[in-house]
Amino acid sequence: MSKLKIHLQVGGYRIPLTIEYEDEKEKEINEEIFRKSEKQVNKYIDEYLKLYPRLSGEEILSLVSLRLATVIFKMEMNQDIEPAIEKIQNLDDELKLLLGDE
Note the pLDDT tens digit of each residue in 34-83. 999 999 999 999 999 999 999 999 999 999 999 999 999 888 887 777 77
Element (H, E) at 22: none
The pLDDT value given to residue 102? 54
Percent of the chain exceeding pLDDT 90 equals 66
Residue 101: which pLDDT band, with cuts at 50, 70 and 90?
A: low
Residue 101 CA to its chain's centroid (Å): 40
pTM of the prediction? 0.72
Residue 16 CB contacts under 8 Å (≥ 6 apart), including other chains: 5, 6, 7
20 membership: H or E segment, kind and range: strand 13-21
The pLDDT of 14-42, averaged and rounded, is 94
